[in-house]
């Protein structure tokens, strides 16, 4: 039995580096971490089938790579999505997308684009998890509890006392996320709920608008006026939200209201936003796409150059008319039912952990390793500023996504060279 203390967790983007992992011949299992995601996803067995499958039949890797190259090489409208992999895997996916004219998008990019749409229109002032932990004295949480997606947010980044001089204690106020979340109970006496005293509560957009009106001094009284006063009196307020959890139409308008609100408070005291978006290295995928192409995710190469369109290149839209979908899900043995979203006859190539259970067997399945479990890799923290290097826990003979995609790209090159007409 081996023990790996202080293992970095790659899953949700909070970058917890304190997971204890036990290992024996049968595989790895985490010691209870307080995080349901880590406790589930770090549990991996060595008794898994590592052979690729074509139509459900096990084949050698060389045959699987050749089949992937054939499908992608013949495709008229390829889509590379999911994109849940480390930075190296994303870069390899972008190279392949450029080669075959594919669209690239991450499974969770909806949440990201609710924020990016506002960043584009207005700009914003945002901060980091370290600033939240070390300097902030008032946390305003807007909307549903972000810990639903980032389970140890409060425990790791808000419960510890601020580290810098003058930073004693902090308040945590929840606006519009009804009822008070169980996940935040670790905040104890710091936690407060802001809302109307009686009757039905307004929707989130109305609450944000009401708070902005109170900050502008438009005759507000009651809870919103009190909250506006507390924001102004704070030394360093941080407004936290997870746009992916906002319900209702036009969630980006709520984000826009928050960005304007932060700007208002920042005129009198220090105030910044902390927009949390998605898991599975969503931020790293977006960073890699931006530095490689100049555009964020939802970029397509079908015109022979990278073009970005947040609506047209949304993977859910493209899945409807793609003829081949290469789906990448290296972090967790789960896949959306993309076959149901796609048109009849669309071939699905899945790169996912060997434990993945499919509702419909894909045309081609290549088992891959998980960054931080089967191989080392870089993933970005959810606040976009830190790249984290994960380690290796167990050797199960599983290739990385990057290694598989590079083999497919090489096979495509070989195919195109062998079919080029001879020059005289
Ligand atoms: S909160 Fe996120 S980073 Fe931390 S252990 Fe859970 S899944 Fe991993």
Q: What tens digit of pLDDT does each residue of 197-222 get?
A: 556 678 899 999 999 999 998 766 78
Beta-sheet strand order (sheet of 307-308)? 57-58, 53-54, 364-367, 347-352, 324-329, 78-84, 103-104, 299-300, 307-308
Give the pLDDT of residue 186.
Answer: 82
Q: Which of 30, 31, 35, 277 to mutate to test the pocket of ligand 1 (most atoms within 8 A of CB)?
A: 35
Q: What does residue 347 show for φ and ψ, rounded to 5 degrees?
A: -90, 130
Q: What is the mean pLDDT of residues 252-264?
A: 96
Q: Which domains does the chain have, with CATH numbers?
A: 49-108+301-419 (3.40.50.740), 111-276 (3.40.228.10)
Q: What is the mean pLDDT of residues 21-28?
A: 97
Q: Report the atom number in ligand 1 closest to the C-alpha of 33.
A: 5
The answer on pLDDT for 363 being more than 60 is: yes
Measured in Å, residue 400 CA sits from the centre of ligand 1 at 22
Give the pLDDT of residue 424.
Answer: 40
- CA 411 to chain CA centroid, nearest Å: 30
Q: Which of 6, 14, 281, 373 to mutate to test the pocket of ligand 1 (most atoms within 8 A of CB)?
A: 14
pLDDT per residue over 317-348, tens digit each? 999 999 999 999 999 999 998 878 888 889 99
Rounded to whole angstroms, what are the CA distances from 287 to 83, 297, 307?
13, 9, 16
pLDDT per residue over 26-75, tens digit each? 999 999 999 999 999 999 999 999 999 999 999 999 999 999 999 999 99
Give the pLDDT of residue 152.
Answer: 96
How far is Cα 330 from Cα 371, in angstroms, rounded to an integer? 7
Give the pLDDT of residue 184.
Answer: 75
Running DSSP on this structure, what letter comes out for residue 324?
E
> Which segment of 1-15, 192-206, 361-375, 384-398 scores lowest on mean pLDDT?
192-206
In this prediction, residue 420 has a pLDDT band, given cuts at 50, 70 and 90, of: low
pLDDT cut 90: percent of the chain above it = 82
Q: Report the atom number in ligand 1 closest to the C-alpha of 12.
A: 2
Tokens encoding 379: 């993933």
The answer on pLDDT for 92 being more than 70 is: yes
Protein residues with CB under 6 Å of any ligand 1 atom: 9, 11-12, 14-16, 19, 33, 35, 37-38, 150-152
Measured in Å, residue 368 CA sits from the centre of ligand 1 at 21
Helices (H), 55-147: 61-74, 87-100, 109-122, 129-134
Measured in Å, residue 10 CA sits from the centre of ligand 1 at 7
Running DSSP on this structure, what letter comes out for residue 394?
-
Q: What is the mean pLDDT of residues 161-183?
A: 76
Measured in Å, residue 88 CA sits from the centre of ligand 1 at 21
The answer on pLDDT for 183 being more than 90 is: no
Average pLDDT value over all residues in the chain? 92
């Amino acid at each position: 039995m081996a023990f790996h203390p202080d293992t970095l967790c790659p899953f949700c983007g909070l970058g917890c580096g304190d997971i204890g992992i036990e290992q024996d011949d049968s595989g790895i299992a985490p010691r209870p971490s307080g995080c349901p995601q880590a406790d589930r996803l770090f549990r991996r067995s060595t008794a898994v089938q590592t052979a690729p499958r074509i139509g459900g039949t096990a084949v050698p890797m060389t045959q699987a790579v050749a089949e992937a190259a054939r499908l992608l090489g013949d495709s008229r409208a390829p889509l590379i999505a999911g994109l849940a992999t480390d930075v190296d895997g994303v870069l390899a996916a972008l190279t392949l997308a450029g080669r075959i004219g594919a669209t690239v998008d991450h499974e969770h990019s909806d949440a990201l684009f609710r924020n990016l749409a506002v960043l584009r229109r207005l700009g914003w002032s945002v901060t980091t998890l370290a600033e939240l932990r070390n300097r902030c004295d008032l946390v305003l949480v807007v909307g549903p509890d972000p810990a639903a997606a980032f389970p140890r947010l409060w425990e790791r980044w808000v419960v510890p006392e601020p580290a810098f001089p003058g930073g004693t204690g902090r308040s945590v106020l929840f606006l519009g996320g009804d009822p008070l979340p169980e996940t935040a109970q670790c905040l104890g006496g710091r936690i407060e709920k802001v809302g109307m005293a009686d009757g039905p509560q307004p929707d989130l957009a109305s609450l944000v608008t009401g708070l902005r009106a109170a900050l502008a001094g438009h005759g507000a009284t009651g809870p919103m006026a009190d909250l506006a006063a507390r924001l102004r009196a704070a030394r360093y307020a941080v407004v936290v939200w997870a746009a992916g959890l906002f319900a209702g139409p036009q969630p980006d308008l709520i984000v826009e209201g928050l960005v304007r609100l932060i700007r208002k408070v920042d005129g009198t005291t220090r105030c910044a936003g902390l927009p949390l978006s998605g898991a599975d290295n969503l931020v790293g995928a977006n960073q890699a796409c931006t530095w490689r192409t100049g555009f964020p995710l939802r970029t397509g190469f079908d015109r022979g150059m990278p073009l970005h369109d947040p609506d047209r290149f949304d993977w859910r839209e493209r899945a409807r008319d793609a003829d081949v979908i290469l789906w990448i899900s290296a972090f967790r043995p789960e896949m959306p039912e993309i076959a149901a979203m796609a048109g009849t006859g669309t071939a699905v190539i899945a790169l996912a952990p060997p434990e993945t259970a499919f509702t419909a067997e894909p045309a081609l399945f290549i088992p891959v390793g998980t960054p931080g479990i089967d191989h080392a890799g870089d993933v970005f923290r959810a606040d976009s500023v830190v790249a984290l290097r994960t380690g290796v826990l167990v050797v199960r003979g599983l290739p990385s996504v990057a290694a598989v995609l590079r083999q497919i790209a090489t096979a495509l090159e070989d195919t195109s060279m062998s079919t080029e007409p001879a020059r005289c």
